[in-house]
Structure 1
Amino acid sequence: MTIDPVFGDGYAMQRIDLGADAEGPLVATLVHRLPERPDSVPILVGHGWSDYVLDRELLEHLAARGLDVWALDLRKHGRSLLPGQTPTEIDHLNRYDEEIDAALRIIGRDRPPIMLAHSTGGLTAALWAVRHPGTIRALALNSPWLEMHLGAAVRRLLSRPVSRLAGRLNPRPLLPQGVEHYARSVPRDYGGLYAYALALKPPGGHPFPADTFAAVIDGQSRLESAGPLAIPVLVMHSARSVFGMEFTEAMRRADSVLDVKVMAEAAAQLGPDVRIEAIEGARHDVFLSDADARHRAIEVLDDWLDVVLTGRHTMSGRGSKTERIPPVSSSSEGAG
């Protein structure tokens, strides 16, 4: 392992060799907060589409809770994007099994981690958990892209034509870069609160490869038909979505990327032990929100972690929220 060039001292980076595809060598990048804490519960943090793991303060907070903190940049994302590669390109979400499996092997097979993932990474993490029971302890999802805008009917309508286009275009873009509404609220370069590399997480995202879009639709279809997850699940999202071609101030305190109503409905079907929390004032990444919403998101995560780490679950019926258990203690003071 070497020092992580993004987070610097205190964080080690390890390349995971994934062979090659038509664009050349493939790697993923596993980041670990030092020192190693093999006696504590590990947590593995993942990113969304056109994204990378960038929130050092969140990782520091998790470490302060006593967790052994790891993070994974998937192939063709962030730290793992190599020259000449099409950013975010993948033809099937199951291909990410290689780097997830390698990361879990490095963390330790006898130490199933909690997994915390965002947006498209949340879909990938949920699919992994469904297909590999027993490999992770619990699943926390930050605005996961579990379903297409407007719901399953739209996804089914799009599935065949998108799949055909992906067969012709492959890694070439199906969708261009999006509007920069989300970026108007988040990065410091645009007057936001958070510093990160816009080359790795560009305003509007990278152009969306056709085969990646088809892979997401396929993953959502497979998740819909999958059996329930037997592990505790937390799903956090903004209290509302605001869309539009023109930027409005309301977008600063809403999800301007995904439909939170559809997201919550899909989340309720993940299993019998699902806690769904709408965070007032949150953006698409609830942890990259204004201070009050970020603080509330961390407070909710802490409360859920207290329950997961002590095993005090109150199970309700499939598709419903977990019965609420009063917080034991919060270690999120000042974390926002």
Structure 2
Amino acid sequence: MTPDRVLGDGYTAQQLDLGADSEGPVIATLIHRERAAADTAERDIDSASRPPILVMHGWSDYVFDRGLLEHLGTRGHDVWALDLRKYGRSLLPGQTPTSIDHLSRYDREIGQALRIIGPGTPPVLLAHSTGGLIAALWAQRRPGTVRALALNSPWLEMHLGPGARTLADGPVRLLADRLQHRPILPPGSTHFARTTHRKYGGQYEYDLDWKPERGHRFPADTFAAVIDGQKRLRAAGPLPIPVLVLHSARTRIGAKFTEEMRRADSVLDVRSLVHAARGLGPDVRIEAVDGARHDVFLSDADARARSLHFLEDWLETISS
């Protein structure tokens, strides 16, 4: 492990060798927060009862929210994070950002990460957006490997629900066979970046090469892999582990930026998300966070605090 140049002091990173694909060598990056004696001393917390937490990012994203990781660490959790292949720290020269032909390929880096964290201590996966879909599929395929799922606006279903996904499935697969990792969609909007990044007066700083204002160009193979993953998730049986789903209380998606987008999900359709989340299993807690953005932890201070409160309260229930 080496010091992590993104998060700074107290964080290390190590590369996970994933072999090679048609674009060359492939790696993922596992980040670890070094535990400090002061983490639990002031709060009288028994850290042994707290599960580790593995944080996973969304599409066109990477792990950079040190404040979230510190918050979890000071509450007794052993905190880890994973930049998936072709994202953030793991993006190598010559690679197509975010390109993947099947979401199950991420099993390799998730499996390696869990082995390093330790087989005797299954972690909670705290995963955002597309990462939430990947985490849910992992938990279904690999029962017993994770303690629980905490999903931050997970991309469990397409806009307008399963009917829209079914209509898109065939054409997208045909285009993916032809285009592979070439883009299938036009560039996205800058709406989310305008509500979060300091360049636009927001509260958060992140690398616009790794998390571009309009997102990376969406590869055809990745879009097909997401639709396939959503289809498999819907067809799978219920998860036997606790699940928390946090999401914005409202959706505001449109071609033109509006001020309402500062306190809404401007990326995903909340109604489709919630409908899919209800089918994840018998122990699912769904919390609408008033004023939250697509990434609930990158919201204004009041909505971020509400999101952290819901997360803390749920973690207490599964740790007791």
TM-score bracket, shorter-length normalisation = over 0.9
Check whether the contact 2:15–2:30 (CA below 8 A) recurs between aligned residues. Answer: yes
Identity level (%): 68
Check whether the contact 1:242–1:254 (CA below 8 A) recurs between aligned residues. Answer: yes
What residue number does 2:75 align with?
A: 65
TM-score by length of 2: 0.95
Check whether the contact 1:138–1:231 (CA below 8 A) recurs between aligned residues. Answer: yes
- After TM superposition, list the pairs within 5 Å mapping 1:112-131 onto structure 2: 112-131=122-141
Task: State the alpha-carbon separation in 2 of the partners of residues 41 and 49 from structure 1.
Answer: 26
Check whether the contact 2:107–2:138 (CA below 8 A) recurs between aligned residues. Answer: yes
What residue number does 2:34 align with?
A: 34
Task: State the alpha-carbon separation in 2 of the partners of residues 135 and 276 from structure 1.
Answer: 22
Check whether the contact 1:130–1:229 (CA below 8 A) recurs between aligned residues. Answer: yes
Counterpart AA for 2:25: P
What residue number does 1:9 align with?
A: 9
- After TM superposition, list the pairs within 5 Å mapping 1:238-317 onto structure 2: 238-310=248-320
Task: State the alpha-carbon separation in 2 of the partners of residues 185 and 112 from structure 1.
Answer: 35
Check whether the contact 1:113–1:136 (CA below 8 A) recurs between aligned residues. Answer: yes
**Partner of residue 138 from structure 1, selected from 127, 132, 148:** 148
Task: State the alpha-carbon separation in 2 of the partners of residues 15 and 161 from structure 1.
Answer: 36
SS of the residue corresponding to residue 255 of structure 1 reads: coil
Poorly superposed stretches of 4+, deviation over 2 Å:
35-41
Check whether the contact 2:51–2:147 (CA below 8 A) recurs between aligned residues. Answer: no
Unaligned runs of 5+ in 1: 311-336
1:263 is displaced (CA, Å) by 0.3
Task: State the alpha-carbon separation in 2 of the partners of residues 141 and 233 from structure 1.
Answer: 7
Task: State the alpha-carbon separation in 1 of the partners of residues 65 and 163 from structure 2.
Answer: 35
Task: State the alpha-carbon separation in 1 of the partners of residues 255 and 236 from structure 2.
Answer: 35
Counterpart AA for 1:277: E
Task: State the alpha-carbon separation in 2 of the partners of residues 212 and 307 from structure 1.
Answer: 36
Moved more, 128-137 or 38-47: 38-47
SS of the residue corresponding to residue 10 of structure 2 reads: strand
Task: State the alpha-carbon separation in 1 of the partners of residues 72 and 87 from structure 2.
Answer: 23
Unaligned runs of 5+ in 2: 38-46
What residue number does 1:92 align with?
A: 102
Task: State the alpha-carbon separation in 1 of the partners of residues 95 and 169 from structure 2.
Answer: 25
Matched, 1:158 2:168: yes
Counterpart AA for 2:31: V
RMSD, aligned CA: 1.1
Matched, 1:212 2:219: no
Task: State the alpha-carbon separation in 1 of the partners of residues 21 and 197 from structure 2.
Answer: 33
* Deviations, residues 55-100 of structure 1 (Å, cap 9, x unaligned): 0000000001100000000000011000110000000000000000
Counterpart AA for 2:66: R
Counterpart AA for 1:30: L
* Deviations, residues 128-147 of structure 1 (Å, cap 9, x unaligned): 00110000001000000000
SS of the residue corresponding to residue 244 of structure 1 reads: coil
**Partner of residue 91 from structure 2, selected from 64, 81, 88:** 81
Counterpart AA for 1:96: Y
* Deviations, residues 207-239 of structure 1 (Å, cap 9, x unaligned): 000000000000000000000000000000000
Counterpart AA for 1:171: H
What residue number does 2:19 align with?
A: 19
Task: State the alpha-carbon separation in 2 of the partners of residues 135 and 115 from structure 1.
Answer: 10
Task: State the alpha-carbon separation in 2 of the partners of residues 34 and 47 from structure 1.
Answer: 20
Task: State the alpha-carbon separation in 1 of the partners of residues 279 and 26 from structure 2.
Answer: 34
Task: State the alpha-carbon separation in 1 of the partners of residues 53 and 260 from structure 2.
Answer: 33
What residue number does 1:196 align with?
A: 206
Task: State the alpha-carbon separation in 1 of the partners of residues 177 and 51 from structure 2.
Answer: 42
How many residues are treated as equivalent by the alignment?
Answer: 310
* Deviations, residues 141-195 of structure 1 (Å, cap 9, x unaligned): 0000000000000000000000000000000000122010111101111210001
1:41 is displaced (CA, Å) by 2.3
Check whether the contact 2:35–2:73 (CA below 8 A) recurs between aligned residues. Answer: no
SS of the residue corresponding to residue 141 of structure 1 reads: strand
TM-score by length of 1: 0.91
SS of the residue corresponding to residue 222 of structure 1 reads: helix
What residue number does 1:326 align with?
A: none
SS of the residue corresponding to residue 233 of structure 2 reads: helix
Matched, 1:44 2:24: no
Check whether the contact 1:36–1:68 (CA below 8 A) recurs between aligned residues. Answer: no
What residue number does 2:41 align with?
A: none
Counterpart AA for 1:228: P
What residue number does 1:148 align with?
A: 158
